[in-house]
Amino acid sequence: MKLLVTGGAGFIGSNFIRYVLRENPDWGIVNLDKLTYAGNLENLKDVETHPRYRFVRGDIADREFINELFQQEHFDVVVNFAAESHVDRSILDASPFLETNVKGTQVLLEAAKTYGIQKFVQISTDEVYGSIKEGQFTETSPLRPSSPYSASKAAADLLCMAYYKTFGVPVVITRSSNNYGPYQFPEKLIPLMIRNALQGQLLPVYGTGENVRDWLYVEDNCKAITLVVEQGRIGEVYNIGGGEERKNIEIVMLLCELVAEKMGKSSEDLKKLITFVKDRPGHDFRYALDSTKIQNELGWSPSVSLEEGLSRTVDWYLQNREWIERVVSGEYREYYSRVYEQGWR
Ligand code: NAD
Ligand code: DAU
């Protein structure tokens, strides 16, 4: 089976490619990535010469390029990870989010319609449902996105369903909770806190730190997406939740303890770096997913506990300190100077 994986040089995409090449000996992968600030071929160094893997640089929103690629390659399955993925960046400038997340998805759907494929897996997010104080979102909960990022992802989901209903494009959507693990760009909460703790820099917690996220170890998500590729029903949505809800402040405390333990430092000294800063505008209070559907239909449930996953993640960042510094480019520093201006640091 031949897969087009878009955004495969990013965090979840690179973990997914590695997972598939290891676990699915009959699957070949073309990885199409624009290599934005978040995409890094170093994330796939260990598989770059793999006989079932090939990299192509390109933009999913470039219609001509995408049509040529589909014409040449005859894909069986598309797994669309490619996106602008960081909420804070969407608050500073929403335009690239509309271009990639909305237009890019529509260009891919149109190519899938024209050239024909067996399945189009759209990688979406729990953020499309918005915030929930109590209980959990199911796949039929209304979409109430809060940020430009989540609005662009919700728009892409609606386009996917429209292409399924109108043209019969064989779409399946996954909506997962917050992923964490190796190769995550250090702008997201967990790798940012690990990096800052290692460097003795402030640990900026937005607002009161009471906001809740449901954490999912990235390899568990890769396993779920693989099951959806194999057995997910066309026209359906599958929630993929980690079942590990924590307040942000709890995550930051846990990370201080883990980093301190592994570095032989005092956790109290690291906790002194925690600084409560101005809140993110429109900050969703809590995300929580009901994953009964994927559990019952596809037999998936998460296998890595938060404590185990965080320990593995801290180990990976400790062993890859040079990776962190290499991906933190000039562009990243420019981004942080704009974030400082907003008072989030
Ligand atoms: P990421 O930012 O680490 O990676 C995104 C990748 O897409 C990068 O390699 C980037 O170069 C590429 N890309 C961006 N624009 C492109 C374009 N126009 N054409 C081709 N490639 C392009 O993101 P991630 O955290 O790995 O997220 C992957 C997907 O999963 C996204 O669709 C995101 O919305 C979704 N998601 C992420 C999480 C999470 O916690 N990280 C949770 C749920 C859903
Ligand atoms: O829920 C899935 C989503 O999770 C994905 O769709 C997004 O692509 C991904 O970026 C992530 O979004 P969040 O906004 O939840 O992730 P982030 O790591 O940016 O923030 C997690 C929480 O931590 C959130 O409540 C904001 C807070 N935070 C974040 C940063 C970067 C801080 O308190 N301080 C920080 O410095």
Cβ–ligand 1 distance for 157 under 6 Å, the answer no
The one-letter amino acid at 79: V
Measured in Å, residue 36 CA sits from the centre of ligand 1 at 10
Residue 44 Cβ contacting ligand 1 at under 6 Å = no
- pLDDT for residue 307: 98
Q: Output DSSP code: residue 100.
A: I
Could you tell me the two tokens for 76? Answer: 């069986």
CA of 112 to the centre of ligand 1 (A): 20
Q: Which one of 84, 126, 157, 244 is the catalytic residue? A: 126
**pLDDT digit string (tens) for the chain, length 345 residues:** 999 999 999 999 999 999 999 999 999 999 999 999 999 999 999 999 999 999 999 999 999 999 999 999 999 999 999 999 999 999 999 999 999 999 999 999 999 999 999 999 999 999 999 999 999 999 999 999 999 999 999 999 999 999 999 999 999 999 999 999 999 999 999 999 999 999 999 999 999 999 999 999 999 999 999 999 999 999 999 999 999 999 999 999 999 999 999 999 999 999 999 999 999 999 999 999 999 999 999 999 999 999 999 999 999 999 999 999 888 876 666 776 777 677 766
59 is catalytic: no
CATH of region 189-212+245-282+304-338 = 3.90.25.10
Question: Do the strands 28-33 and 53-57 form a parallel or antiparallel pair, or are they unpaired?
Answer: parallel
The alpha carbon of 137 is separated from its chain's Cα centroid by a whole number of angstroms, namely: 19
Distance 260 CA to ligand 1 centre (A): 31
Of all protein residues, whose CA lies closest to atom 14 belonging to ligand 2?
87
Q: CA 177, CA 221: separation in Å to the nearest integer?
A: 9
| Nearest ligand, CA 69 | 1
Q: What's the CATH number of domain 2-179+217-240, 3.40.50.720, 3.20.20.100, 2.120.10.90, 1.20.1250.20? A: 3.40.50.720
Sole residue written with tokens 């933009």:
59
CA of 11 to the centre of ligand 1 (A): 7
Q: Are 122 and 109 in contact (CB under 8 A)?
A: no
The alpha carbon torsion through 150, 151, 152, 153 (nearest 10 deg) reads: 50
- Domain regions of the chain by residue span: 2-179+217-240, 189-212+245-282+304-338
Compute the half-sphere exposure of residue 13: CA atoms within 13 Å on the CB side of its CA.
36
- pTM for the complete prediction? 0.97
Find the residues whose C-beta lies inside 6 A of ligand 2: 85-87, 125-127, 177-178, 188-189, 192, 204-206, 211, 213, 248, 280, 287
| Catalytic-residue membership of 290 | no
Close Cβ partners of 151 (under 8 Å, ≥ 6 residues apart): 145
DSSP secondary structure code for residue 31 in this structure: E
User: Separation of 86 CA from ligand 1 center, angstroms?
Assistant: 9
Of 53, 149, 217, 287, which residue is the catalytic one? 149
Per-residue confidence (pLDDT) for residue 342, from 0 to 100: 79
Q: Please state, in angstroms and rounded to a whole number, the distance separating the CA atoms of residues 224 and 238.
A: 9
pLDDT (0 to 100) of residue 345? 63
Ligand nearest to the CA of 105: 1
C-alpha distances in angstroms, 53 versus 5, 23, 182, 315?
Answer: 10, 14, 20, 27
Q: Return the best residue to mutate from 175, 203, 213 for the ligand 2 pocket (most ligand atoms within 8 A of CB).
A: 213
Is residue 127 flagged as an active site residue? yes
The CA 82 to ligand 1 mean position distance, Å, reads 5
Q: Give the number of whichever ligand sits closest to the CA of residue 103.
A: 1
Euclidean distance between CA atoms 178 and 284, whole angstroms: 13
